[in-house]
Structure 1
Amino acid sequence: MNSEVLTAKLARREGRQVESAEELLHRVSGALGEVERRYGGDEAAVRRWTARYRALMEENRFWPSGRILNNSGTRQGQLASCFVLPLSDDFGSVFDTLKSAAGCHRSGGGTGFDLTPLRERGAPISTAEAGGASGPVSWLRLFDAETHVVAQGGKMRGANLASLSVRHPDIMEFIDAKRVVGRLHNFNISVAMDDAFMRAVEAREEIELVGPVPGRKARRIAATEIWQRVCENAWRTGDPGVLFVDAINRANPLLDHLGPIRTTNPCGEQTLYPYEASNLGSLNLAAFLLPDRSGIDWELLRETVGDAVRLLDSAIDASRYPEPRITEMARANRRLGLGVMGYADLLIALGVRYDSEDALGLIDRLGGVIRDSAWQASEALAQERGAYPNWPHSGRPTPARNCAITTIAPTGTISMVAGCSSGIEPRFAPVWNKDVLRSDGVSYADEDLVGELQQHAGLERGEALELLRHKPVDELPLPAHVTAPYRYAHEIPATWHVRTVARWQMYTDNAVSKTVNLPQACGADDVSDAFLEAWRLGCKGLSVYREGSRDRDLLTASHVTREPEPPRQSKRLTGEL
């Protein structure tokens, strides 16, 4: 546990007094343990679960999200990391949602919006003197401004995601919304694509754009024209990503009762209904390595999953949400976001390459154990605390406490606290800088590789670091079997990034958030290949990031990169796919 990061990022402050790491763990575990009283637990039960929750963190096995760590046991008490808020084609309701968004951002939560219900630019509106509707993108700028203003007065910058159906008449304007660097700085954007559209891309057919106002058909357009624009913009700026809405709803247990889910939280891992919220937390997979590094302590992993599910479920009850509609929806579905981090660390410790069949096999074992243990814990909680209210509509034969449990989230802050690799990402580089905490960022080195150089090459630490800054891994004075597992983000082919997402998705109730890192010299056709493969493999969505495609990267490797080339056109984009 990195106490310095924990207190710098998540400790409570009153004047000059800063909460210690010890006090933070006491506050968080105590507040969540107190939930036992709501379900008839006595003082002994409260003490028992308080101690178990604290042990999860002290032993570095599981960390709840920053919102839970920062806000548990405080007057604010808002513990959800993310929300989805509705937008309807009505002037007053848009501003009602704007107010709700400000409340979510003020408490540290991120928000997702589906813009599809908003009528297209120029469509008739009731105000006689108006020239027509301004379109979804104009409203997007309003929400971006709100986020900026609220962030200036709060502790952290708000985050948002906006999605738009690929069949909306303003889809091209939406795809281009972030083409200018710095525009809509507080938003990620994603295009919501259905299977029929994807088949039209493969067959080079046209689709019909249809306005949200009934009966307003806009025009027909080649599916590949939209696809090409998506891929070129993703190559240039990292936006838009893609959401595969049919894949999302094939796994949605409440589809028949509540209708389709249409969008996600800001990073794409939580597929949420309007007014639904979710709390997050992640298992540190590296913590379950056996002491002799021969394998995984599966029993400890199963036990930890069960305790983590109970902690996250208790956080729903302990949370004070920004408004009653969110409280009602959160408690009706009781959706959790139990994820993992430290995956790359575990692979290296076991001597497994990230881009290998052995890694996929390990995902099968890890994913299956986590999924099964999580649902067993939820079913046990349902017997103890009651099933979630919408369970009778889910089609699930056994009562469960939660409509969905597992997710794969990015774990920026809590992976720094745990001292492990983020989410299911590979390690970024042998030596890198992260743009956090200080104005010049924080420098990191792959300490395992540094240790290998010290052990096998007899180098001092400073000498090892200098070598890592100037030589690729395959040129280090180390045996090939030692360097084989050390695979970094930009060395891994895009297809293996996508295959990793798809394999984890097989065991994940919600969705998987992972960056597909692309080298600076790649082309837009490489983006196209990644998106197509993600759809074919059953992913619920995907985003890509080409090195150097934004004005400021959060992570930067120490090596020098080449100037970007213009996006290459290929038959896959302009003709055959």
Structure 2
Amino acid sequence: MNSEVLRAKLARRQDQWIESTEELLDRVSRVLGEVERQYGAGDQQVRRWSARFRALMEENRFWPSGRILNNSGTPQGQLASCFVLPLSDDFGSVFDTLKSAAACHRSGGGTGFDLSPLRERGAPISTAEAGGASGPVSWLRLFDAETTVVAQGGKMRGANLASLSVRHPDIMEFVDTKRDVGQLHTFNISVAIDDAFMRAVESQTQIELVSPVSGRAPGRIAAVDIWRRICENAWRTGDPGVLFVDTMNRSNPLLDHLGPIRTTNPCGEQTLYPYEASNLGSLNLAAFLLPNRSDLDWDLLRDTVGDSVRLLDNAIDASQYPEPRITDMARANRRLGLGVMGYADLLIALGIPYDSEAAMGLIDRLGSVIRDAAWSTSERLAQERGAYPNWPYSGRRTPARNCAITTIAPTGTISMVAGCSSGIEPRFAPVWNKDVIRADGIVYADEDLVGELRRHAGLERDDALRLLRNKPLDELPLPAHVMAPYRYAHEIPAAWHVRTVARWQQYTDNAVSKTVNLPRASGVADVSHAFFEAWRLGCKGLSIYREGSRDRDLLTSHVGSEPEPPRQSKQLAGEL
């Protein structure tokens, strides 16, 4: 556990007082343990569960999200990390959603919006003197301004995602929205794509663009023209990403009752209905490695999954949501976001390359164990507390407490707290700079590789660091078998990034958030291939980022003569 990051990013503050690590863990575990009283627990049981929740964090096995860590036991008390809010084609409704978004951002939550119901640019509107609708893209600027203003006085930088159907008449304008770097800096954008469109791209046929208001088709366009524009802009700036809505809804248990899910939270891991919220938390996979580094303690992992599901379910009851409609939806579905982090660290400890069949086999084992333990816990909670209210419509025979449990989130801050690699991402580079905290960023080093150079090459630490800064990996004085598991983001072929997403998705109820890192020299065709493979392999969405796409990358591996990284650091500081 990195107490420095925990206190810097998530501790409570007042005047000169800053909450200690012990006080923070006590506060969070006490608030979540107290929920047990709502289900008939006495003092002894409340203390027991509070202690178990505290042990998850103290032993670095599981960390709830920053919202839970920061807001538990506070007057605000809002514990959800992410929301989706509706946009309907009505002037007053849009501003109602704007107000809800401000309330979510004020408490540190991120929001997703599907713009598809909004009428296209130039469509008739009722105001007599108006020349026609301004289109969905124009509304993004309003929400971007709101997020910026609220974030200036809030807990963290606001985050949004906007999606638009690939069949909307304004799709080309939407795809170009972030073509110029610096536009809509609080938004990620994604195109909502259906299977029929992908088949039209393959067959090079046209599709109809359909007005969301009239239902008429104002025109036809070659699907490949839209696809090419999506890939060109993703190559240029990293936006847009893609959401495969048919894939999302094939595994949606409430499709027949609530209709299709159309969008996600800002990072794409939580598929959510309008007014639905979700809390997040992640298992530190590296914490389950046996001392001899031969395997994992699978029983401990199963027990940890059980306690983590219970903690996150308690967080739903403990949370004070921004408005009643969100409260009602969150408690009707009781959707959770239990993920993993430290995956790359675990691979290296086991000597498994990230881009290997052995890694795919490890995902199969991890994914099935986590999935089965999570649903077993949800079924036990349903027996104790009752199934989620919408369960009768799910088609699931056995009552469960939650409509969905597992996800793969980016784990920005909590992976720094845990001192592990983020989400299921590979390590970025042997030495890299992260553009956070200071103007010149924070420098990190792969301390495991530094250790290998000290053991096998007899180097002092400073000499090992100097070598990592100035030599390519294939020139390091290390045996091939030692170097084999050290696979970094831009060395891994895009196909293996996508395969990793798809393999984890097989065991994940919600979705998988992971960036496909492409080298600077990659072309538009490489982006197209990655997106197509994601669709073919059953991913629910995908984002890519080509090195150098923006004026200043968040992560850079060319750090030159930056100051020496902290000795204990694999990753030291970051953002939510």
TM-score range, shorter chain: over 0.9
Distance 2:524 2:16 in 1: 51
Task: Tell me if structure 2 keeps the 8 A contact 1:285–1:341.
Answer: yes
* Pairs within 5 Å for 1:508-519: 508-519=508-519
- Opposite residue 64 of structure 1, the aligned amino acid is P
- Structure 1 residue runs of 5 or longer lacking an equivalent are 561-577
Give how far 1:47 is off. 0.4
Distance 1:450 1:370 in 2: 32
Task: Tell me if structure 1 keeps the 8 A contact 2:427–2:488.
Answer: yes
- Opposite residue 350 of structure 1, the aligned amino acid is L
Distance 1:32 1:434 in 2: 33
- Opposite residue 363 of structure 2, the aligned amino acid is I
Is 1:299 aligned with 2:328? Answer: no
* Pairs within 5 Å for 1:270-309: 270-309=270-309
Give TM-score scaled by structure 1 length: 0.96
Aligned twin of 1:93: 93
Distance 1:400 1:361 in 2: 28
3-state SS of paired residue (2:26): helix
* Pairs within 5 Å for 1:127-276: 127-276=127-276
Distance 1:206 1:488 in 2: 40
Distance 2:175 2:220 in 1: 17
- Opposite residue 509 of structure 2, the aligned amino acid is D
- Opposite residue 212 of structure 1, the aligned amino acid is P
Distance 1:558 1:302 in 2: 40
Distance 2:551 2:302 in 1: 43
Distance 2:117 2:22 in 1: 48
3-state SS of paired residue (2:469): helix
Distance 1:279 1:516 in 2: 25
Is 1:419 aligned with 2:438? Answer: no
Give how far 1:71 is off. 0.3
1:361-410, Cα deviation, whole Å (9 max, x unpaired): 00000000000000000000000111000000000000000000000000
- Opposite residue 203 of structure 1, the aligned amino acid is S
Q: Percent identity?
A: 84
Distance 2:559 2:435 in 1: 16
Distance 2:449 2:537 in 1: 33
Give how far 1:468 is off. 0.3
Give how far 1:490 is off. 0.3
Aligned twin of 1:403: 403
Give how far 1:559 is off. 5.8
Is 1:48 aligned with 2:48? Answer: yes
1:224-272, Cα deviation, whole Å (9 max, x unpaired): 0000000000000000000000000000000000000000000000000
Aligned twin of 2:475: 475
3-state SS of paired residue (2:164): strand
Coordinate RMSD, CA, aligned: 0.7
Is 1:19 aligned with 2:22? Answer: no
Comparing 343-352 with 430-439, greater Cα deviation is found at 430-439
1:444-473, Cα deviation, whole Å (9 max, x unpaired): 100000000011111011000000001122
3-state SS of paired residue (2:163): strand
Distance 2:215 2:483 in 1: 61
Distance 1:234 1:470 in 2: 31
Give how far 1:440 is off. 2.6
Is 1:118 aligned with 2:113? Answer: no
Give how far 1:215 is off. 3.4
Give how far 1:15 is off. 1.1
3-state SS of paired residue (1:491): coil
3-state SS of paired residue (2:400): coil
Task: Tell me if structure 1 keeps the 8 A contact 2:169–2:218.
Answer: yes
3-state SS of paired residue (2:201): helix
1:413-462, Cα deviation, whole Å (9 max, x unpaired): 00000000000000000001112233332211000000000111110110
1:200-228, Cα deviation, whole Å (9 max, x unpaired): 00000000000101233210000000000
* Pairs within 5 Å for 1:415-564: 415-558=415-558
1:5-32, Cα deviation, whole Å (9 max, x unpaired): 0000001111111111111101001100
Distance 1:73 1:151 in 2: 22
Aligned twin of 2:70: 70
Comparing 16-25 with 277-286, greater Cα deviation is found at 16-25
Task: Tell me if structure 1 keeps the 8 A contact 2:61–2:283.
Answer: yes
> Would you say how many aligned residue pairs link Structure 1 and Structure 2?
560
Task: Tell me if structure 2 keeps the 8 A contact 1:83–1:275.
Answer: yes
Task: Tell me if structure 2 keeps the 8 A contact 1:470–1:559.
Answer: no
Aligned twin of 1:572: none
Comparing 209-218 with 10-19, greater Cα deviation is found at 209-218
Distance 2:490 2:223 in 1: 30
Aligned twin of 1:566: none
Aligned twin of 2:384: 384
Aligned twin of 2:327: 327
